[in-house]
Structure 1
Amino acid sequence: MAILWKIDPAHSEIQFKVKHLMITTVTGYFRTFNLEVETETEDFHTAKRIEFTADIDSIDTNNDQRDTHLKSADFFDSANHDQLRFVGGKYESHGDEAKLHGDLTIRGITKPITLDVEFMGTVVDPYGQYKAGFTVKGKIKRKEFNLTWDAVTEAGSVVVSDDVRLMAEVQLIKQG
């Protein structure tokens, strides 16, 4: 019998980091997201379904003007593509570390990616909920997903890097 796990949004965060002017890093978050995982047992090596979505309109980089630009057609085009989606495929585990292979869809473009996953353990919280924790990291090239806006400074520096680092702290709650 399959076990369903759902994300605990109060104890999870989804973020991305991008170099700006190649001298600093801007951090952004998706504030509204969902993740469901189905496993055969309480062991995540048996994961058979992993589905994640994030609402584009929930982007938060701590700068309203930049957030509006990221939601525009120059980047995510939230008017036509309201979510990004990751569907996990193969979960290869080596102890507490794993590789999660799956398909990421942004702006209607789907590409395979591999994420590094660190299993942080399981615990029963003070309310009797059985929880599992993970740290997830990865990297994508934004231009592969048609996030192609570019600008160059007068001195010739790139304004926004093509490399985007993905990071997530995820806490799942066992359902039922």
Structure 2
Amino acid sequence: MATIKWVADPTHSEVQFKVKHLMITTVTGYFQQFTVEAETADDQFTSAESVVFTADVNSINTNNDQRDTHLKSADFFDAENHGKLRFEGRKYENVGGSDYKLHGDLTIRGITKPVTVKVEFGGIVVDPYGQTKAGFTVTGKISRKEFGLTWNAVTEAGSVVVSNEIKIQAEVQLVKQN
């Protein structure tokens, strides 16, 4: 059987991250420009031979222009020298029912580390236009410092401004390519 290719439907997908600010509230950011490409051996998405996610660092949006500019700077993502972040999935495994784990390598700022994310498979449907679509909720956590995003400041009381742990959440709708 031939490999089946899938690509993200950007109008029905979103990729966000959450980080604690001052350790009392959470700030949410989005990557507005990203791609997801997958290859499967079957129509049911029970296996994935390849999953590649890329995001344009310059498309980061936290609803604050000053913060977005800082995140793109050398203090964080260094968008001038590292304009993309990339995840390459190596293993997609079922852990029960519609729950999967996707193991792969995440590259940020030229630093690559293994990362495992949880994937909830929402199912497959054919939309009103005849397109076959598969839906997923992806969640995970990473340490920003492991990827060279080490900038921080300390408040007068000694609290850190930005937490090390970054929570990742994505809602991804893939479209089967004919």
TM-score tier after normalising by the smaller chain length? over 0.9
1:112 aligns with 2:135: no
TM-score (norm 1): 0.99
- Superposed displacement of residue 46, structure 1: 2.2
SS at match of 1:45: coil
State the match for 2:26 in structure 1. Answer: 25
State the match for 2:134 in structure 1. Answer: 132
Alpha-carbon separation, structure 2, partners of 1:43 and 1:110: 30
| Gap regions ≥5 residues in structure 1 | none
1:89 aligns with 2:90: yes
State the match for 1:38 in structure 2. Answer: 39
SS at match of 2:49: strand
Contact 2:47 2:93 in 1 (8 A): no
- Superposed displacement of residue 45, structure 1: 2.4
- The amino acid that maps onto 1:82 is G
After superposition, the C-alpha distances for 1:109-143 in whole angstroms (9 at most, x for unaligned) are 00000000000011111111100000000000000
TM-score (norm 2): 0.98
- The amino acid that maps onto 1:162 is N
What's the Cα RMSD here? 0.5
Provide runs of 4+ in structure 1 moved above 4 Å.
none
Alpha-carbon separation, structure 1, partners of 2:117 and 2:141: 8
Number of aligned residue pairs: give it. 176
Percent identity over paired residues: 69
SS at match of 2:46: helix
State the match for 1:53 in structure 2. Answer: 54
After superposition, the C-alpha distances for 1:125-173 in whole angstroms (9 at most, x for unaligned) are 1111100000000000000000000100011111000000000000000
